[in-house]
Amino acid sequence: MPPVAVPEEPSKKKLRVAIIGQSTFAAEVFKLLQRDGHEVVGVFTVLDKGNREDPLATIAAQNGKPVFKYKTWRVKGQVIPGILEEYKSVNADINVLPFCTQFIPMEVILHPKYQSICYHPSILPRHRGASSINWTLIEGDTTCGLTIFWADDGLDTGPILLQRSFPCTIDDTVDSLYNKYLYPEGIKALAESVNMVANGVAPRIKQTEEGATYDPALFKPETHQIDWSKGGLALHNFIRGLDSSPGATTFIKPQTKDGVDKTSDANIEIKFFGSSLWEAEYETEGDKLFITGLNKPAVVHADGLLITANDGIKLNIQRLKVNGKMINAQNFYKGSENKVSLDLTAEEKQFIEKARDVWKAILRIEIENDTDFFASGAGSMDVVRLVEEIKDISELELQNEDIYMNTTFEDFYNAAILKQRGGSGSKEVTYDGVEMEINKMKIKFPTQLFINGEFVNSDGGKTTAIVNPTDESVICKVQAATVSDVDRAVKAAEKAFEEGEWSKISARERGQLLFKLADLMEQHKEELATIESIDSGAVYTLALKTHVGMSIETWRYFAGWCDKITGSTIPISHARPNKNLTLTKREPIGVCGLITPWNYPLMMLSWKMAACLAAGNTVVMKPAAVCPLTALKFAELCVLAGIPPGVVNIVTGSGALAGQALADHPRIRKLGFTGSTEIGQTIMKSCAASNLKKVSLELGGKSPLIIFEDCDLDKAVKNGMASVFFNKGENCIAAGRLFVEEKIHDEFVRRVVEETKKMSIGDPLNRGTAHGPQNHKAHMDKLISYVETGVKEGAKLVYGGKRLDRPGYFFQPTIFTDVTDNMFIAKEESFGPIMIISKFSSNNLDEVIRRANNTEYGLASGVFTKDVSRALRVAERVEAGTVFVNTYNKTDVAAPFGGFKQSGFGKDLGQEALNEYLKTKCITIEY
């Protein structure tokens, strides 16, 4: 029978309507009938469930309409007289039955002038009965639909008034059909049908029996049992046909990853949800799950539960309810996990209270965090109501699945908040970590790899001891990544980029997540700074201001760029007589690898990763092997911020193994590296040989600082010391050689030595400390050797140059003078607190610039002079990516940073940094 479709017209006549039904569906019909000017003279619905009133009764009462609640309309097949009289008292012209689950006596059906019309979620006469949507899917129909029919004796056989049909795909479920078509279109169809009756154009088309089916209701447990002897397509249809409720059911024997427990007679009930046909050609890897009736074991894998039917067709299951507990299928063999509590904004706390009110209105009980939605009496229609009401209060589009997977109030609001932030729902995470009481606070940080949103052990089982440079004690042991761990992380990042939530959210939502991450770093800044101090030796006050403070600024800066990355339109020659439009798109590259050094562990991570994520990429990052702890704490904050799984991955371990694996990996499309020039050369070769991946390198430096005799000497001394001793000299832009004009040389040296002697060296957690320990022993030993070489070559050691006689890697700030251009210390970077001073004559500007440029490095430079013209001439001619004039170390998140020559190429920070993580696509359209 072809569907009946009549153009929607407003009603010319206003009818007195009795609504007999329930749920939010009926409540929405109530609203439309009111809108169209009809008078709802009575609402007849079901009894309250405990303290919970049906939404239809609620909205009717709010609008001052009579409400009648009946447990049943009949006793022993006969209408209850008192109920019949109550019904007749409203004097309705027509009965409208939206989502009516009760058997309504014919005395009521036929009583009004225009009798009764009823909604049915199928294309009658196919799938008569109470489970019509389910059977539409179980039978594999390619078309679904709805019917408004003239009610008969309850068998869905009355004449048809209106029908609508819609496509039904192989991936549809009860919820998707209901949400896409049957709910919104059904409400409109009922309202339209009432108008058709009022206008005298409502047909009565007799139902044909051709193709008619009357399918049994799927209410009894035995109707939910899966018959595993059926083919894969039939199994898929059966599971999705029961996807909303109650779930396709089977029983298995207790088992672990190692096999079935043959000693147990128990059975485990499992319900299956979220089936999809598996089209991948490769065999997936995972743990076996034995199901009686299947010839081949199912496989618990990273994307769910893969079932191979006996006819060879595969289907993948997303969710399981195991003995009443809903879990993601991939977690079947995982034990219970601890949840990380979210750090909430004021707005999010307000949302929670509004959501609590919604739950309270639905359940009619006081709502605690552990209140379970379904255990408190909620049903499938309450799920629909909850989804709709949450949308009203927050414009958040939840899916029914979000409620089924998060049944307690706390789970629900965590999932909702994470979804608001752009994440994929409630995230559970545990980690092996370290808790310490230090620096007048409690700190906690992970020690495992961070892959796909989880902290996991490495495949090789090896660890690296992390040493506190202040006292040489072992803080903890951190997992050391293998090549297979890196591969696993890259696959997770690739999936997140191509298929995950990260690929679906808008640029603005991405920015909101990065702002939230920055806020969390702000909230945890003291803890992060403390971890940075014990791990890298950074002075705590400096770590607060720079290591952590500038990291936070970096994330906020690039969060603001997320929705401002644009292309352009380009005028080109037209293909006459047609025209052409050419435009460019700036697109993310894909999976990016980042390798960062040990001098600013968190800040170097932030400088690179913030731009990378703002551009829309995903990342696998390897921190320095000797100080990875703030990177791992940062990973925990990513979970708290709602960053989707796979977007950020942290693999700790050696550069030779994990770092090289990143450079070699063919699925990484961009690699950003900060470190030595020698390692940079190796990485560049590997990137070229593997897949010609894009590279940006920030490498070594031997930055010149030229101080003229007309400078502000106080300022020059202060900044000259900072240019060398800042962060213990472990600073990529440290002034590797100071050229001091001969007229002020001796005075400059005298004052620098005097001020250096005043520097307090000691525990970096002490607020009065100015100079902490070097990062690790190998580096300190290198500095001692560096000083010895300088002395041997004839440079004058005027101060320091020794390791302090105390535990820890404490090295005295050191000052050399009388350094000539041919000396080792004049050419090579120390990367430590060693000041190299040479004289020059201001009478020969060209000569000092030549000497300054006589190096293969070109990272930074500086000049101190009151002569603006001279300063600009030096800035113009010096070969360095950064030039400081009458200041030093003045970097800012908005200013691009990067070097020339063998100091590398590419930029961190500023708008230019985004270019390192974007590709430009040109599109030409002819019209």
Active site residues: 120, 698, 732
- Is 713 in a helix, a strand, or coil? helix
The answer to whether the Cα torsion of 441, 442, 447, 453 is positive or negative is negative
- Closest of 713, 850, 750, 51 to residue 378, by C-alpha: 51
DSSP 128: B
Exposure string for 384-410, b = 16+ CB within 10 A, e = fewer? bbbbbbbeeebebebebbbbbbbbbbb
Cβ neighbours around 78 below 10 Å, total = 11
Which H or E element spans position 450? strand 449-451
Q: Are 192 and 185 in contact (CB under 8 A)?
A: no
Adjacent-strand bridge partners of 128: 214
Residue in the block written with tokens 């435009």: 583
Q: Are 657 and 682 in contact (CB under 8 A)?
A: no
- Cα 504 to Cα 85: distance, rounded to the nearest angstrom: 56
Q: Which two tokens stand for residue 728?
A: 């213990």
Exposure string for 195-219, b = 16+ CB within 10 A, e = fewer? bbbbeeebeeeebeeeeeeebeebe
Cβ neighbours around 89 below 10 Å, total = 12
Cis? peptide before 125, omega within 30° of 0: yes
- Cα 778 to Cα 624: distance, rounded to the nearest angstrom: 14
Question: Could you tell me where the beta strands, DSSP code E, fall in 791-917?
Answer: 796-799, 814-817, 834-840, 857-858, 860-864, 882-885, 900-901, 904-905
- Closest of 787, 837, 783 to residue 810, by C-alpha: 783
Q: Are 619 and 593 in contact (CB under 8 A)?
A: yes
Q: Tell me the CA end-to-end span of the chain in Å, nearest whole number.
A: 44
Measured CA angle at 586 (ends 584, 587), to 5 deg: 125
Exposure string for 820-838, b = 16+ CB within 10 A, e = fewer? eeebebbbbbbbbbbbbbb
- Closest of 591, 619, 651 to residue 458, by C-alpha: 651
Q: Which two tokens stand for residue 235?
A: 């199994």
Adjacent-strand bridge partners of 592: 619, 670
Residues 6+ apart with CB under 8 A from 792: none
- Cα 784 to Cα 775: distance, rounded to the nearest angstrom: 14
Half-sphere exposure of 369 (CA within 13 A, CB side): 4
